[in-house]
Amino acid sequence: MKIKTLLLVLVFAMVSVVTLACNKPKETLVIWVGAESATFYQTQMDAYIVAYNEANDEDFPYIVEVKPVDTGTAAGVFLDDQEAGPDIFTVAHDNLGRLVAGSSAIAPVTLQALIDQINNDNPASFQEVIRATVGGTEYIFGIPYVAQSLVLYYNNTFLTEANVQTWEGIWGVAKAQNKRALTITGTDGFNNSFLLLSTRVTDGTTSLRLYQNGVQEDTFGTGDDTISVLKWGQRFFMDSNGAAQASSSGWEVELKDGLTLSVIGGAWHFNAAKAALGENLGIAILPKFTITAEDAYGTVAAGTQFQSGSFTDTKMFVMKKNSPKAAYLQDILLYLSSKQMQELSFNEVDNLPAYKNAATEFTKMQGTSIEAKLAAAQVEMFAYGIPQPFGFQARYNVYYYQKGAPDIILAILRNVDGSYNTFEQIKARMTIVETIWKTGQQPAA
Handedness of CA 70, 76, 77, 82 (dihedral sign): positive
Q: 353 — phi, psi (to 5°)? A: -70, 150
Nearest-angstrom CA–CA distance, 319 and 39: 20
In 3D space, the residue among 435, 71, 37, 16 whose CA is nearest the CA of residue 219 turns out to be 435
Chain centroid, CA 296 distance in Å: 31
The two beta strands, 262-265 and 151-155, are: antiparallel
Q: Tell me: the pLDDT tens digits for 36-51?
A: 899 999 999 999 999 9
What is the helix (H) or strand (E) element at residue 193, kind and residue range?
none
Nearest-angstrom CA–CA distance, 139 and 32: 22
Flag whether pLDDT at 310 surpasses 70.
yes
User: Are residues 411 and 420 in contact, defined by beta-carbon separation less than 8 angstroms?
Assistant: yes
User: Are residues 441 and 432 in contact, defined by beta-carbon separation less than 8 angstroms?
Assistant: no
User: Are residues 82 and 301 in contact, defined by beta-carbon separation less than 8 angstroms?
Assistant: no
- Find the length of the chain: 445
User: Are residues 409 and 189 in contact, defined by beta-carbon separation less than 8 angstroms?
Assistant: yes
Report the pLDDT value the prediction gives residue 8, as an integer from 0 to 100.
58
Higher pLDDT, 179 or 16: 179
Of 45-49, 282-286, 359-363, least confident by mean pLDDT is 359-363
Flag whether pLDDT at 2 surpasses 80.
no
- pLDDT category at 19 given cuts 50, 70, 90 is very low
Q: Tell if the pTM clears 0.75, that is, is over it.
A: yes
Report the pLDDT value the prediction gives residue 185, as an integer from 0 to 100.
94
Nearest-angstrom CA–CA distance, 439 and 395: 9
Nearest-angstrom CA–CA distance, 222 and 134: 33
Average pLDDT, the chain: 92
Flag whether pLDDT at 299 surpasses 90.
yes
Q: Tell me: the pLDDT tens digits for 410-423?
A: 999 999 999 999 99
Q: Tell me: the pLDDT tens digits for 122-161?
A: 988 898 899 988 888 999 999 999 998 999 999 999 999 9
Flag whether pLDDT at 96 surpasses 60.
yes
What contacts 409, CB < 8 A, 6 or more positions away?
Answer: 189, 192, 196, 230, 433
Flag whether pLDDT at 102 surpasses 90.
no
Could you tell me the domains of the chain? 28-147+313-386 (3.40.190.10), 150-311+403-439 (3.40.190.10)
Q: Tell me: the pLDDT tens digits for 156-201?
A: 999 999 999 999 999 999 999 999 999 999 999 999 999 999 999 9
Mean pLDDT of 12-35: 68
In 3D space, the residue among 317, 341, 338, 327 whose CA is nearest the CA of residue 111 turns out to be 327
Report the pLDDT value the prediction gives residue 431, as an integer from 0 to 100.
97
Of 22-26, 66-70, 333-337, 346-350, least confident by mean pLDDT is 22-26
Of 181-195, 368-382, 417-431, least confident by mean pLDDT is 368-382
